[in-house]
Amino acid sequence: MTIAFLRHSVSVLALACAALSTLALVARAQERPIVTAQPDPGPVVAPFVIDPSDDPPLPDAAMAALVRDKIKYVFVIFNENHSFDNEFGTFPGVDGLYSDGLAPRAPDKTPGFTQTYTDLSGATVTVSPFLIGAKENASFVDSVDHSHKGLAAKLDVVDGVPRMDRFAADEYAKYAKPGNNMAQAQGAQFARLVMSHIDCDTIPFYWNWANRFAIFDRIFATEDTPSTPNAIAMIAGQSGETQWVKHADDAKPPLPMSGTINGKTYDGTGAPQRAPIVNDPNPFWGSQYDATVGDRRPTSPAENYAPGNVAENLTFATVPLTAMAREITATTSRDLAPETDLADVKGDVPYIQNLNGASVAWRWYQNGYDLEPSDSDGVASHANYVAHHNGAQYFGYIANNPLEAANLKGEGDFFADVAAGRLPKEGGIFYVRGGFRNIRGVTPPIQNANYPDAAGLTADELQTINKGKSGDDDHPGYSDRQISEAMNAEVVNAIASNPDLWRQSAIVLTYDESDGFYDHAPPRILSYGPDKLPLARGIRVPLLLISPYARAHVASHAEGDHNAVIETINAIFNLSPLSQLPEEAAALKAGDSPEFNAFAPDGFHQTFLGPRDTNSPITDSLLSGFSPKRLRGEAAALPADYALTPSDALWRLPHYSGQGCKTIGVVPEDVRQGIDARPPANFNTLPATLPAYN
């Protein structure tokens, strides 16, 4: 049976012309200015809008100097697993589902908009994007396929160009099995779910910041992989390509294991996953391979520490390494195993030391890492902790160095440190991540108790949702979007409520990867991994820039990935680019060789097996999101209350009673164009959690 729920007349030539559409999109993106105004500012926003044509971006060096003079604190709110189109596909003024940000765009000009697959009965099934909201309890949904292989399948790279047209097919194939009607029904529901999207009625806080500040619509996941590699890439610009290039031919004998984790005792030997990391293994540090006796890094009680599900010790350069600056020799001398932990930065350490720059403080705050307000009896349970999301814990020169490991903290510590004035007076870099549950003990807002069962959800089903969807890192499957954005708003409010912090701050709100949800924008394929699958880049993710010196009500089309965040941090704190460090530069050069080019299609050169945080046509910084006039004092800085979310709205769920668009005054693009984007009949947002309704 064919399922069709298109809102437009879609040409049957759309799939055949996907590559041409992709090239046209790229060409159009290159034609437009790097920053464009969003349409229709409301009365609150209009007084702060400066037309980008009256405030053009400056050359990088000039912008960096201006920003460096104003910004001392960079906060990175680092969320989980949503594609750009999934959250902002109908945000006005961006390259979204129905518009390129300048004008409406037809579905047959949008890569992957119309997706088809053949089900096990032989029928052709057609799926295209649709909106979910309060009626579908859209604040919590199940997670879709974001495995490395699944993401490569979804991209569907043909002749070097991702067609973005196999999202639905991958989901169906993952679940559907011959002779199993329940599995086939589940596959059909996931094939729908992957094409769903939300808007400001579900995430009004995010959309409000995007409306008031700068939203970036050309930022991609660094790696075409799940969370761990991109958590690592947030501080390293890669997931271990440098380590792969340097040690591809090294023999790796099995490592001894010992200790008990989550009730399982390990002994004998095992083999951790080698770099580059492409899956979701847990950190070496704290695992059964870690021989540390006291002061061990924490593990997660909800995660699998099988011998093959642990990463090897990572030893390449990161922002925390360059941030040591002139203190790097003294700091690394505190490492407990320098020969192994510093193996791949031996040339970087003296290079950084000789630059003689000022050191920069940093912290990685993550829910569940240590004692949280939700813990009882003063004992850290780590119940909220997702260890494979903590990018910093993978590196020996951080986790195995008491001086550096002190920078790893819990989510509650962030709020306590800000309230007590314990952030360094000289500024620094501060990453904030949620976790498997929230520290307030809040349950998700069930806006429609008669969905997906018109007769009403049972007490057991309600309990399942309340227990399993209360995380605050925005990860589909176990988090709630409104709980997550409330946590994000608490972070922004904590900063904006402190005048000294706000006037010196830049807040970057972004995601690690897409969870595998549909996005139409094809990433550039920059590298291939040891499995010969595309490694960089991954699917597009949201990114917002919030600052007193940000542009107001604009979209930036600067292209990049997590390296763009690193490049911006480098500019603000005058740090050496990771890509210019001796060890990384040598690996980048060595990667473009017959040995590594053999993992890519014929004629492809592996020129990006490492970080790429140096400005180039394919990797830009986030500096275009700042207003030169505000930085120079020619226009007033944006006030703190412009960023604040009303305190009485933070934890009143559902946010704005499900009327977020009306409350913040934003009209989504589908509404602007009169597009009927309703979901298909009998759609289930929870095909794994509540399979009876598939």
| Cα–Cα distances in angstroms (integers) from residue 556 to residues 58, 158, 346, 660, in the given order | 14, 28, 38, 24
Number of C-beta neighbours around residue 309 at 10 A? 17
Q: Report which residue type is found at 545.
A: L
The string of pLDDT tens digits covering residues 134-170 is 999 999 999 999 999 999 999 999 999 999 999 999 9
d(CA 659, CA 560): 33
The string of pLDDT tens digits covering residues 629-688 is 999 999 999 999 999 999 999 999 999 999 999 999 999 999 999 999 999 999 999 999
Q: Which distant-in-sequence residues (6+ apart) come within 8 Å of 559 by Cβ?
A: 29, 218, 219, 524, 618, 619, 620
- Percentage of the chain surpassing pLDDT 90? 94
Residues 256-273 have a mean pLDDT of 96
pLDDT value for 36 = 97
Grouping H, G, I as helix, E, B as strand and the rest as coil, residue 429 is strand
pLDDT surpasses 80 at 294: yes
Is residue 30 very low, low, confident or very high in pLDDT (cuts 50, 70, 90)? low
pLDDT surpasses 60 at 25: no
| Structural tokens at position 620 | 């830009």
Q: Which distant-in-sequence residues (6+ apart) come within 8 Å of 2 by Cβ?
A: 123, 124, 125, 126
pLDDT surpasses 70 at 43: yes
Lowest average pLDDT, out of 30-34, 129-133, 310-314, goes to 30-34
The string of pLDDT tens digits covering residues 45-97 is 999 999 999 999 899 999 999 999 999 999 999 999 999 999 999 999 999 99
For the chain, the straight-line distance linking the first and the last C-alpha, in angstroms and rounded, comes to 15
pLDDT value for 7 = 32
pLDDT surpasses 70 at 2: no
Grouping H, G, I as helix, E, B as strand and the rest as coil, residue 64 is helix
H helical segments located in 2-41: 18-31
Residues 345-353 have a mean pLDDT of 98
- Greatest Cα pair distance, the chain, in angstroms, is 70
The whole-chain average pLDDT of the chain stands at 94
Q: Report which residue type is found at 673.
A: Q
% helix / strand / coil in the chain, to the nearest 5? 35, 15, 50
Q: Which distant-in-sequence residues (6+ apart) come within 8 Å of 296 by Cβ?
A: 285, 286, 290
pLDDT value for 595 = 97
Domains of the chain: 18-693 (3.40.720.10)
pLDDT value for 18 = 35
Global pTM reads: 0.94
Q: What DSSP string describes 168-187?
A: HHHHHHHH-BTTBHHHHHHH
Q: Which residues of 332-356 are buried (b: 16+ CB within 10 A; e: fewer)?
A: beebbebeebbbbbeebbebbbeee
